Amino acid sequence: MTATGFFTDTTVCIGCKACEVACKQWNQLPADGDFFSGRSYDNTIHLEATTWRHVAFVERSVPLSGRTTAHPFSWLFMSDVCKHCRRAGCLEACPTGAIIRTEFESVYVQPDVCNGCGYCVVACPFGVINRRQDDGRAWKCTLCYDRQRDGMEPACAKACPTDSILFGPVEELKRHAELRLAELHRKGVTEAYLYGMKEEDQPGTEGLHAFFLLLDRPEVYNLPPDPAVPTKSCAVSWGCMALAAAGMVAAGMVAVRRGGEK
């Protein structure tokens, strides 16, 4: 089965939040964000167990590329979602087998198997997955697995009025993303770049099945600049432990020898 995913072009996102609404409606997620956050028009703030799509509103004191104004200001919009990492920290950390890789290469949490331990929450380098307060189980974007099995595209991509969110085979999306990036560079938008598309750019996750075209540093969009699953550092951790153990053995042998000499 062909791996499918998302390519999100933030340069054409208008912040309408149609994707958020469509996601909640299709997946029957409870309402949230009904308060004034103080963060521009963003009242959902971040991805959560009941918010599987989140549109960020980033206000900057800099103008858009190629524009000069007396009072520089610009908005950046980005619809964030689970990245369905090729090497998923949540999947590796799950002790019950509740998190699996589907035939579409997406990362799926089986709610009937999840025991709410929360290991996946701390293992996700993007802070995507979380537990619901009402049942304690972990929830996140399913890449609309139920819709895909019926030959339909995810609700968020279908609802996007500007095609900022594109869904399809990952390899086709990569080619489209590269063409779009080249087009923007020809138009003078040289700060544009692709985030998470290639394994060499993000070795810590071995690439993402939901990648983005951005206009500013990842941190501006609340994305980690160098994400890595916790198990990536296991070899280094074990090496440090071995060195520490060897040092303790050596110190013990020296102490015993000196004690014998006395």
**What are the DSSP E strand ranges found in the chain?**
4-9, 54-60, 74-80, 99-101, 107-109, 130-131, 138-139, 165-169, 193-195, 210-214
Which residues on neighbouring strands pair with residue 211, listed in sequence order? Answer: 7
Contacts 24+ apart (CB under 8 A), 175-178: 176/7, 177/7, 177/9, 177/211, 177/213
- Binding residue positions: 13, 16, 19, 23, 82, 85, 90, 94, 114, 117, 120, 124, 141, 144, 156, 160
Rounded-to-integer distance, Cα 173 and Cα 209, Å: 10
DSSP state of 160: -
Tokens of 177: 């993303």
- Binding residue positions for [4Fe-4S] cluster: 13, 16, 19, 23, 82, 85, 90, 94, 114, 117, 120, 124, 141, 144, 156, 160
Q: Is residue 215 a contact partner of residue 11, using CB atoms and an 8 Å limit?
A: yes
